Amino acid sequence: MAYETIIVEVEDHVALITLNRPNALNALNDQLLGELADALTGCQNNEKVRCIVITGSEKAFAAGADIKMMSEKSFVDVFAGDLFTPESEQILRVRKPIIAAVSGYALGGGCELAMMCDFIIASDTAKFGQPEINLGVVAGLGGTQRLTRAIGKAKAMDMNLTGRFMDAEEAERSGLVSRVVPAKKLMEEAMGAAQKIAEKSMITVMVVKEAVNRSFETTLREGLLFERRVFHSLFASEDQKEGMAAFMEKRTPQFRDR
Ligand code: HXC
């Protein structure tokens, strides 16, 4: 599939997907989200890809769902058409890790897309927000749910009710992003993190993603049982033998994803 609203590059086992609708600050429309979902599925199926980075431009990761596209839609259009649901579910099915590298605006659906990724690395220019309330709607892709789990009720209510933007420093302090770096260093930092992950055993990496995500879906007791069982099951892998042998032999492990 030839893409028009995203750019996909694969280098050294890392796929870099750049959202590319500069005239609309990467606003999410059917085409962009469809292309992104398709590209991510492609990465999942491409053995060369071991980690994925999604980024936007310096000014905007994504300024939200496309307001021009949405403005004329009726309830029936968005309900029966299930706006963005199939694409977001396709994105969430990707089992390889996805890092969001956020510079500038990550608003509305843009903030929600970043939160669908496994973690967010932000530049010091990043601004996060759920300003849907100013448009007479609410968040529709996780802004009242994932944001609340990430930063807690008080701040999530504040963001969703006032529509204010949160800067990178506050986002890191609140637990929304894992690291903040100077804008010029953003891609180096994100690609470096992706490279580090790409060197691990893919089996273990996918287990980590599954186990951490499980914590959002279950009780602590069940989550701990799931974690314990996947921990046990990794002893059936060759990579566990290799990883522990390499430690004892004081060498770098050579993982084979088995
Ligand atoms: C469509 C958008 C857009 C958006 C920006 N643009 N955001 N187009 N949808 N979400 C367009 C502008 O119309 C403009 O195009 C161009 O991008 C540059 O934007 P400006 O506003 O001129 O830039 P600036 O003054 O720097 O302001 C930046 C901004 C502002 C603060 C980010 O653009 C803004 O507030 N955008 C909307 C943010 C928002 O409300 N997002 C939530 C959307 S609802 P032209 O052609 O005029 O030059 C949502 C729901 C998700 O996301 C749920 C889905 C299920």
pLDDT value at residue 1 = 77
Residue 80 pLDDT greater than 90, yes or no: yes
82 within 8 A of 139, measured Cβ to Cβ: no
**How far is Cα 224 from Cα 243, in angstroms, rounded to an integer?**
23
Nearest atom in ligand 1 to 112's CA: 51
Separation of 26 CA from ligand 1 center, angstroms? 9
Choosing from 36, 67, 162 the residue with most ligand 1 atoms within 8 A of its CB, the one to mutate for a pocket test is 67
What percent helix, strand, coil does the chain show, rounded to 5?
50, 15, 30
Task: Single out the residue of 84, 83, 118, 80 nearest to residue 99, CA to CA.
Answer: 118
Separation of 4 CA from ligand 1 center, angstroms? 19
Nearest atom in ligand 1 to 84's CA: 55
Residue 8 pLDDT greater than 90, yes or no: yes
What would the pLDDT profile of 82-128 be if each residue is shown by its tens digit? Answer: 999 999 999 999 999 999 999 999 999 999 999 999 999 999 999 99
Nearest atom in ligand 1 to 135's CA: 40
Could you tell me the pTM of the whole model?
Answer: 0.98
Residues in Cβ contact with 211 at an 8 Å cutoff, skipping those fewer than 6 apart:
223, 226, 227, 230
In the numeric block, the tokens 């990724």 are attached to 117
State the catalytic residues: 65, 109, 112, 132
Q: Whose CA is nearest to atom 38 of ligand 1?
A: 63
As a whole number, mean pLDDT of residues 194-209 equals 98
Residue 193 pLDDT greater than 90, yes or no: yes
pLDDT value at residue 55 = 98
Separation of 25 CA from ligand 1 center, angstroms? 7
As a whole number, mean pLDDT of residues 161-186 equals 98
- Strand bridging mode 14-19 / 165-167: unpaired
Angle at 83 between CA 78 and CA 87, to 5 degrees: 165
**How far is Cα 17 from Cα 61, in angstroms, rounded to an integer?**
11
Rg over alpha carbons for the chain, rounded to the nearest Å, is 19
DSSP labels, 28-63? B-HHHHHHHHHHHHHHHH-TT--EEEEE--SSEEE-
Nearest atom in ligand 1 to 83's CA: 55
Choosing from 5, 21, 23, 25 the residue with most ligand 1 atoms within 8 A of its CB, the one to mutate for a pocket test is 25
Q: Burial level of 196, CB count in 10 A (0-12/13-18/19+)?
A: exposed
Residues in Cβ contact with 178 at an 8 Å cutoff, skipping those fewer than 6 apart:
119, 120, 121, 172
19 within 8 A of 6, measured Cβ to Cβ: yes
Residue 144: CB atoms within 10 Å: 17
Separation of 237 CA from ligand 1 center, angstroms? 48
Amino acid at 31: Q
The DSSP call for residue 23 is G
What would the pLDDT profile of 85-97 be if each residue is shown by its tens digit? Answer: 999 999 999 999 9
What would the pLDDT profile of 9-63 be if each residue is shown by its tens digit? Answer: 999 999 999 999 999 999 999 999 999 999 999 999 999 999 999 999 999 999 9
Percent of the chain scoring above 70 in pLDDT: 100
pLDDT value at residue 163 = 98
The 3-state DSSP class for residue 137 equals coil
Token couple for 9:
């590059």
- Average pLDDT value over all residues in the chain: 98
**How far is Cα 58 from Cα 54, in angstroms, rounded to an integer?**
13
Strand partners, 60: 105
Q: Which residues line ligand 1 (CB under 6 A)?
A: 24-25, 27, 63-68, 83-84, 105, 107-109, 131-132, 135, 139-141
Separation of 246 CA from ligand 1 center, angstroms? 51
Residue 255 pLDDT greater than 80, yes or no: yes
Q: Whose CA is nearest to atom 25 of ligand 1?
A: 25
Nearest atom in ligand 1 to 134's CA: 40
